Amino acid sequence: MPVTTKAGAPWVVKDGLATLGHEATALLHTLDAVFASWGVQEGAGTMDFPPLLAAADLSRLDYFRNFPHLVSVVGRLDSGRWAGYAEQAEVTTVRAGDLADTGHVLPSAACYGAYLHVAGDELTAPLRVTTVATCHRAEQEYHGLRRLGAFRMREVICIGGAEDVRGHLAAFRQRIHDFAGRLGLGLTRERASDPFFRRHDARQLFQALEPVKEEFSYGDGTAVASTNYHLNFFGERCGITYAGRPAFTGCAAFGLERWVHALVDLHAGDPGRAREAVEEAAAAMDAPGTAAADGRERA
């Protein structure tokens, strides 16, 4: 029997945290499998990275300088406070002053794990990796599945030469465009600025010349996916080389709950119908004679 939430809705969201019922969960997993399969078709290996990132590693990536507003940590109670909490009849707040210092933060994007994992490597061929992670972002306000404090992000990452990364991102823009067209989703594509190298970096000038971030948005303004070109920023900071030079990197990112939001909205609130539409669109894209399938045959 399909299980909705206790409220009878396909999902409920409280304090920026979502609970999905059976059908919305199935839709999210179906979407994730589609995006992951695109990654595999483009030559990516599937990996799983640690759910916490070392603050020292992120510091090398200017993370605290550029994204202090996104930082979330898993606070652990200081051992000196255990007894006090054990004695309380009801705990509604864990006070910041009761926490032990921590050297780790929660990821706000799935791809950091990949760059940190290959840090120091000398690549002789482009590397493509796909991964999914629960990402945490402290936002000003939360709004249904459109703006959550914790959400799942599927990414397909390319590390290699500039042309490899550009080709990777172009292939994903084409796939997103084709998929949205088949779904009747009507996504608009917009240039955005990428804050990875926002400050004190000559690379920010480059953003004016070549788009480094493009976002795909549903009709209500919800950005469901982005392609991101970091130039050789991560290559330099993580000491990753490709053919003897700092590697270029880029990623295609899909916010899974936002796709669920958009597709269920399009299908009059019915996650089951939305899932059927996703399965049909994905199968049609895999059929011989389509751009994506033909590209694979040529490759």
What is the nearest approach in angstroms of Zn ion to the Cβ of residue 212?
12
Tell which one of 27, 183, 225, 262 touches ligand AMP (CB under 6 A): 225
**Considering the rule CB under 6 A, would residue 255 count as an interface residue with ligand AMP?**
yes
What is the nearest approach in angstroms of ligand AMP to the Cβ of residue 143?
9
Report strand pairing: 104-105 vs 53-54: antiparallel
**Considering the rule CB under 6 A, would residue 224 count as an interface residue with ligand AMP?**
yes
**Considering the rule CB under 5 A, would residue 251 count as an interface residue with Zn ion?**
yes
Q: Which does 153 bind (CB under 5 to 8 A by kind): ligand AMP, Zn ion, none?
A: ligand AMP
- What does the alpha-carbon distance between residue 174 and residue 87 come to, in Å, rounded to a whole number? 58
Residue 112 burial (CB count, 10 A)? 24
What is the nearest approach in angstroms of ligand AMP to the Cβ of residue 277?
19
The alpha-carbon radius of gyration of the chain (Å, integer) is 21
Closer to ligand AMP by Cβ: residue 223 or 231: 223
**Considering the rule CB under 5 A, would residue 111 count as an interface residue with Zn ion?**
yes
How many residues form the binding site for ligand AMP (CB under 6 A)?
A: 15
Residue 23 burial (CB count, 10 A)? 21
What is the nearest approach in angstroms of ligand AMP to the Cβ of residue 217?
9
Q: Are 45 and 155 in contact (CB under 8 A)?
A: no
Closer to Zn ion by Cβ: residue 146 or 213: 213
Report strand pairing: 11-14 vs 17-20: antiparallel
**Position closest to ligand AMP via CB:** 255
- What does the alpha-carbon distance between residue 5 and residue 18 come to, in Å, rounded to a whole number? 11
Q: Considering only CA atoms, which of 180, 228, 188, 184 is closest in space to residue 31?
A: 180
Q: Which does 251 bind (CB under 5 to 8 A by kind): Zn ion, ligand AMP, none?
A: Zn ion
* Binding track, positions 96-125, relative to ligand AMP; x by CB under 6 A: -------------x----------------
Q: Which does 152 bind (CB under 5 to 8 A by kind): Zn ion, ligand AMP, none?
A: none
Q: Output 185-191 pairs: Cβ under 8 A, ≥24 positions apart.
A: 185/218, 185/262, 185/263, 185/266, 186/218, 186/219, 187/216, 187/217, 187/218, 187/224, 187/225, 188/216, 188/217, 188/219, 189/214, 189/215, 189/216, 190/214, 190/215, 190/217, 191/215
Query: Contact region for Zn ion (CB under 5 A) — 110-118, 182-190, 206-214, 277-285?
Result: 110-118
Query: Contact region for Zn ion (CB under 5 A) — 17-25, 206-214, 252-260, 278-286?
Result: 252-260
Q: Considering only CA atoms, which of 57, 193, 69 is closest in space to residue 137?
A: 69
Query: Contact region for ligand AMP (CB under 6 A) — 65-73, 119-127, 217-225, 264-272?
Result: 217-225
Residue 28 burial (CB count, 10 A)? 22
Q: Which does 164 bind (CB under 5 to 8 A by kind): ligand AMP, Zn ion, none?
A: none
Residues 143-162 that bind ligand AMP (CB under 6 A): 147-148, 151, 153
Q: Considering only CA atoms, which of 207, 126, 136 is closest in space to residue 171?
A: 126
Please report, as ranges, the residues that interact with ligand AMP according to CB under 6 A.
Answer: 109, 137, 139, 147-148, 151, 153, 223-226, 253, 255, 257-258
